[in-house]
Amino acid sequence: MGVSDTLLTDGSRESFAVPVVGNTGSVTFNLYGHVKSICIIAPTDDATYSYNVVDEDGYGRTGKTELTGTNTIDGDTIIYGGCIFTILNATDGNYLVRLYCTPN
C-alpha cells in the first residue's frame, strides 16, 4: 500500500497503515516536506516495535527502537521523494502511522 505524491503547501499530515506479519512490515510513500512529529498507534497497548524511515537510496532519515504501545515522537526530518517506513522487531498486527509535516 502506498501513499500518492504530496507536495505540501501548508501544514499537513499523511496517514497510512503498516501491516506487520512475521515481525516486519513496510510501506513506500512519496512526500516532500519537513516531518515535525510521527504518531504510531500499535495494534495493542502492549505491542513492542521499532521503526525506521529510509529514502529511496537506502539512507536513513529517522527511526526509534524499543517502543511500546501508542507513541508520538518529535521529528525534525526533511522528507523528499520516495521513502520506506518500516516497522520491525514488532508484535504482528496493523500499525497506524501519521506524519505531521510542514513545507520545506
Q: Where are the domains of the chain?
A: 2-102
- C-alpha distances (whole Å) from 24 to each of 56, 88, 101 are 19, 4, 25
Digit-coded pLDDT (tens) for 21-73: 999 999 998 888 889 999 999 999 999 999 999 998 899 999 999 999 999 99
Fold observed for domain 2-102: Jelly Rolls (2.60.120)
For the entire predicted model, the pTM comes to 0.85
Digit-coded pLDDT (tens) for 2-17: 444 444 445 688 899 9
Nearest to 99 by CA among 33, 42, 5, 20: 33
pLDDT tier at 19 (50, 70, 90 boundaries)?
very high
